[in-house]
Amino acid sequence: MFADFIKRLTAPEPAPLPDEDARLALTALLVRIARSDGHYDQSERDRIDRIAARRFALSPFEAAKLRAEAEALEAEAPDTVRFTGAIKDAVAYEDRIGVIEALWQVVLADGVREAEEDALLRMVSNFLGVSDRDSALARQRVSGG
């Protein structure tokens, strides 16, 4: 279903993604982080919906639809290294910092900061080209301290 999208995203020199495709790719990355600890629960799905609604000015219905599409894309997406590398090449740095904030929101949504989620988020930040400092600042903005 998403083969053409993934092919464009992982092309050797991908063009910047149109807004709708960028939304889908970034939301799929949120889903990947949420699934990383083996417990993808309703609080994480709700958090992703709220993030998508706020970030992309979507209705709750549109946000849930985007998340459902992102869940399907995430299941078909290549390994995290290639997937995040493709997003890095196609999405502006400021937007990638926003994604790191959103990823921290998802990681912290269930009230438990799992080691698997921390490790994956550090790796994803690196692959997205976001500095450790900017990632730490994003976490602090999300967690309030």
Tokens found for residue 53: 């609604």
Structure confidence at residue 64 (pLDDT): 97
Place of tokens 């799929």: 28
Predicted local distance difference test score (pLDDT) of residue 11: 67
Whether 121 is covered by a domain: the verdict is yes
DSSP string, 38-86: S---HHHHHHHHHHHHHHHT--HHHHHHHHHHHHHHHHHS--HHHHHHH
Residue 9 domain-assigned? no
Q: According to the model, what pLDDT value does residue 53 have?
A: 93
23 within some domain = yes
Residue 91 DSSP one-character state: S
Measured from the Cβ of residue 23, the count of other Cβ atoms closer than 10 Å reads: 19
Range of the structural domain that residue 84 is part of: 17-143
- Alpha carbon distance 73, 27 (integer Å): 9
Which residues of the chain register pLDDT less than 50? none
The count of structural domains within the chain is 1
CA 113 from chain centre, in angstroms, equals 17
CA distance 23 to 55: 9
pLDDT of residue 83: 78
Strand residue runs (E) in 37-118? none
Rounded to two decimals, what is the model's pTM? Answer: 0.77
Handedness of CA 140, 68, 54, 83 (dihedral sign): positive
Quote the CA–CA distance of 78 and 95 in Å, as a whole number.
Answer: 21
Question: For position 142, what pLDDT does the model report?
Answer: 85
pLDDT on residue 65: 96
What is the pLDDT at residue 14?
63
Looking up residue 39, the CATH number of its domain turns out to be: 1.10.3680.10
